[in-house]
Structure 1
Amino acid sequence: MSTPYLCPNCKTNRSRFNIIEQHAKSVKLNPQTGEILEELDQLALGPLHVPYRGPNYKIQCGICGLIEEELSFIKHAQLHQ
């Protein structure tokens, strides 16, 4: 996170951002009520449960509110130096 950002939407913001940390929690739900029946360990998910493979961070522009992956903001800053 020590690289410059530029918002790909408003194209002016280079300094005000929210860094959103994502923590995935694997659960098993009751199909009728939606109640959490069990929290699943990441090492013992089983063959029918795909582990979370998304980004650890998302970035939100502090000016226009756009939320994207960090790479979008980094690449936009590199293209418009």
Structure 2
Amino acid sequence: MSSPYRCPNCKTNRSRFNIIKQISQSVKLNPQSGEVIEQYTDNQLVPFHLPYKGPEYKVQCASCGLIEDERTFIKFGEQQ
């Protein structure tokens, strides 16, 4: 988060953003009710249950509301 951001949607916002930290939780759900049957830790994942490999942060433009990966805002912030 030490790089300049710029919103790729509204193209003017360079200062107002919401940083969203993503915390994944691995679970097994009941297919009929949606109730959580089992929760897994990263060390105890069962076969066919892949660990989360997405971005650690998402960023929301506080002007227009666009939510994207942090890299998108950083890349657009590098452009003049």
**Normalization by structure 1: what TM-score?**
0.95
The count of corresponding residues between Structure 1 and Structure 2 is: 80
Stretches of structure 1 lacking an aligned partner (at least 5 in a row): none
Structure 1 runs, 4 residues or longer, greater than 2 Å off: none
TM-score by length of 2: 0.96
Corresponding residue number in structure 2 for 1:17:
17
Q: CA deviation at 1:33?
A: 0.9
CA distance in 2, matches of 1:41, 1:17: 31
RMSD: 0.7
2:58 corresponds to 1:47: no
Q: Offset of 1:32 from its aligned partner? A: 1.4
Residues 40-68 of structure 1 show CA distances to partners (whole Å, capped at 9, x for unaligned) of 11111122101100011000001000000
d(CA) in 1 for partners of 2:79 and 2:4? 11
Any gaps of 5 or more consecutive residues in structure 2? Answer: none
**2:61 equivalent in structure 1:** 61
